[in-house]
Structure 1
Amino acid sequence: MKIIIIGYGWLGQQLALPLLQDGHQLYVTRRSADVLTNLPTAISGLVLDLRQPDLAQDQQLLALFHDALVLCAIPPGRSEPDNAYQISLQSLYQLMVQAQSRAVIHFSSTGIYQGCTGEVDECSELLLHHPRVQLLNAGEQALKQFPQCITLRLAGLMGPGRHPGHSVAGKTLSDPNGAVNMVHAADILAAINALISDNTWSSAVYNLSCPELITREKFYLRAAESAQTEVTFIRDATQSRRVLAEKFSRRFGFRYRFSSAPDALIHCF
């Protein structure tokens, strides 16, 4: 299958080589050429700025995107110009429509549940007065117009070179008794393979998060010990959320390699 990864950042790099090794034809894109140097053999890199006009009229792009599975891994960012994220995804939608792409898997974030407390799932009401929620929701809506769009709301990312113990090193965290929501890159890859094997591409929204409950304090203390760093907690009354991710497991018979987030820590170096 022809697969195009839009946004060849950390997550794209975790996915590209295994997908290539499974026999797929891989293309990856970034906005600047320097990031695309030294790509693994047989992975083709393409400079693509989705904010440029008239991309859906570019015949070479249309040929590339035709019948392709598109993995949209563009991060929403925090310092982009106003609406840049939404504009980019709207442009991608138009390009895929014109090219008649096969399907798109959009990597969104469980950060879309910001402000929610307790257990949340794909049916939970979003609190759109939060700017971050507005941003993520606008991105999802831009791509959900595509007839074959699967949105994967990813919990906190971890994997090779992205160890949670390093990200919290020296910090004081709140909400020690709240639930931690994390997902390893290996399980994201496995979810993509499950979707490819299913090959129906029915539009839907799914959460991906390690399903076993563990508190933030227990997880981050173990993460800090694993990474040989230190983290402390304040005792506060913060009410956090636990992301439920059973919907994807039920639909595809999916089993997480790392059901418990601490089990993945050794695989984050």
Structure 2
Amino acid sequence: MLLDLNTVFHSELLSIRHGIARPSPDGVSNIECESADLILLPIKGVFAKHDGPRQHFIANPNHGILLGAGRPYRISFLDQVGDESLVLDFPKEVLASVLVEAVAGEDFGSSALAPHCLLSPASVMNRELLWRHLRQAVVDSLAVEEISLAMLTGALQAASVRGRLSDRGKQSVTMARRRQQVETVKELISLHANQDWTLTSLARHAHTSPFHLARVFREQVGVPVHRYLIRTRLGKALEAMQSAELDFAAIAHANGFASHSHFTSSFRSLFGLTPSQSRQRMAIY
């Protein structure tokens, strides 16, 4: 993996790095291990995080990744594009305080936490707002710190819900197979979000039945397959909206929405405001 990592913000409360990762020419990805607990927030692209043999998680800009200190992992790419992410690094004392208040945990290795989570719509918007702030010529430190704390709390709370689900099936072969099926579907959706998927076609790729997939996906991820697809499309649309030159009709079409109105209604349903209002809000910052 080729990684370009740069510090874009630093204060007493936290440090934020911006990373651009690309597949290495030889296709080999090395084992990584962090020295501190970190929050990884994808802002572009899709990748797989491998925590062990047959244990991987598909991540796109709808997810948060908890990188626990001393816990080895490996990153692989599902295409030749790579990914772009923000890495939030809080001091131990700050992290400990938030962990106790948010999930009654001690560190990212706590059994109360899963190593990844599906971010809430509010957290997805906060991540976009954070990235917008960090790209300004003059960074508003107070705003960055407040949004970062909100991102940390939201990610921990989301991960704690997933943690309770995964704990019940740690030793279960059946649960391992179900997780594999779910990650296969997440990978397909992340790579081809604009495709007109059906439950039957996704289930065929996952080697299961549509009924089984619908039930297991909702159980594992916390949302139905269709809602996950819409959220993935909206995540890509948010990225495209950073360009003021692109109109909403073009963005809607490029990301698999049937029409401008379908895009607008889906956006408002998830984020509580229209694409126009979102662009105006981001412009203020």
* TM-score normalized by the length of structure 1: 0.29
**TM, length-normalised to structure 2:** 0.28
From the two aligned structures, give the one with the greater helix fraction: 2
